[in-house]
Homo-oligomer: A and B are copies of this chain.
Amino acid sequence: MIEDKNQSRTKLSELGEFGLINHLTQNFKIKNSTTIKGVGDDAAVIENKENQILVTTDLLIEGVHFDLSYMPLKHLGYKAVVVNLSDVYAMNGNATQITVSIAVSNRFPLEALEELYDGIYTACKTYNIDLVGGDTSTSTKGMLISITAIGEVKKEDVVYRNTAKPNDLLVITGDIGAAYLGLQVLEREKRVFEVNPNSQPDLTNYSYLVERQLKPEARKDIVKLLSDLGVKPTAMIDISDGLSSEILHICTQSKVGCNVYEEKIPLDQQVISTCEEFDLNSTTIALSGGEDYELLFTIAQEDFPKIKGNPHLTVIGHMTDESIGANLVTRAGQQIKLTAQGWNALSKD
């Protein structure tokens, strides 16, 4: 419904593989002094003498991870980069380089790839990232994108998932649940459009939700904020699969339990109102929704005064002895075991 059917089309075969790579990457300028050699040789060359290197990778497949009927290609390019950077920030690091591999079937003209790379370019600019390599290929069906992000962190600053301690506070950035609801809104509009192709979607009441789904941001700012506040998390992870699943990752890997308080979970007003409209439980959405790309971390109790009252950070619970397990404490004071129901499981309903 967002697609422009009248766009001019240039066949990819007119350019050839190397022509295509040059064409798509010519505007990407090197921004990091650690990038010695980017696109154009057998491998990128990165210099890094004092820091540890962080490497993370994600694969996005049309029909599995995204739907081009409501995901504009520019947003897709932007999001594909952001979800990878988020993993670097979740290690308390600074993202510096990416490689981008794409494969497309012959239904995509050059202009489609230009739009995709426009989004990749914007993300690289926003987050100060160098594109240093990649691969382009044809696919037998649809589009797929594989991105690897590289970052750096001082040895003493790296934060893992497996180092939370009992009595640490559990902290979340921003608010959650919106990205998943944005997807529900977009899928509803798609069904409406399929029934009546002349319908125009009115997304005014869901603007925040849709933006969180289509153009998520990674919390680079939090890494700086924590550094400025003098707080080093004891464990950290990004929220890609849903709060519940991520809490369980920290608990399992750190061999601790936790109590998470339902009333503390930060929700945007649009999340609350849209949950009412869709007849969904907002806590379930917050716990299982996913794709928020907020950070979830634990801190020592003595660091609490440093973060207290910060509008970006909410304490939602505390870690316990492993034997207690991972629990949600409801508004009614009831304890419920957390289960790892990510958004993949949820979206199959």
Residues of A within 8 A of B (CB): 17, 36-37, 40-50, 52-59, 61-65, 86-88, 90-91, 93, 97, 99, 101-103, 132-135, 137-142, 144, 146, 148-151, 153, 155, 158, 160-162, 236-238, 253, 344
Bound-state CA distance A138–B162 (Å) is 28
Contacts of A91 in B (CB 8 A): 41-43, 45
The reply to whether A45 and B37 form a contact with Cβ atoms under 8 Å apart is no
The answer to whether A55 touches B59 (Cβ under 8 A) is: no
CA distance A264 to B237 in the complex (A): 57
The answer to whether B42 touches A161 (Cβ under 8 A) is: yes
A59 CB, nearest partner CB in chain B, Å = 4
* CB-defined A-B contacts under 8 Å, sample of 17: A40-B161, A41-B161, A42-B90, A43-B55, A43-B91, A45-B52, A45-B54, A45-B158, A46-B53, A53-B150, A55-B97, A57-B133, A57-B135, A59-B137, A65-B137, A99-B148, A144-B144
If A43-B55, A43-B56, A52-B45 touch, whether A139 touches B64 (CB-CB below 8 Å) is yes
Chain B residues within 8 Å of A150, by CB: 53, 55
Residue contact B140 to A62, C-beta cutoff 8 Å = yes
Q: Which residues of B contact A103 (CB under 8 A)?
A: 59, 61, 64, 144
Complex: A230 Cα to B59 Cα, angstroms? 41
**A141 with B144: in contact, given A43-B91, A57-B134, A58-B101 (CB under 8 Å)?**
no
Q: Which residue of B lies closest to A56 (CB)?
A: B43
Question: Is B47 a contact partner of A155 (Cβ separation < 8 A)?
Answer: yes
Q: Report the separation of the CA atoms of residues A93 and B37 in the bound assembly, to the nearest whole angstrom.
A: 14
Residue numbers in B under 8 Å from A46 (CB-CB): 52-55
The interface residues of chain B lying within 8 Å CB-to-CB of A59 are 101-103, 135, 137, 144, 146
What distance in Å separates the Cβ of A145 from its nearest Cβ neighbour in chain B? 9
Whether A64 lies near B151 (C-beta < 8 A) is: no
Say whether A55 contacts B64, CB under 8 Å.
Answer: no
How far apart are the CA atoms of A93 and B54 in the complex, in Å?
Answer: 19
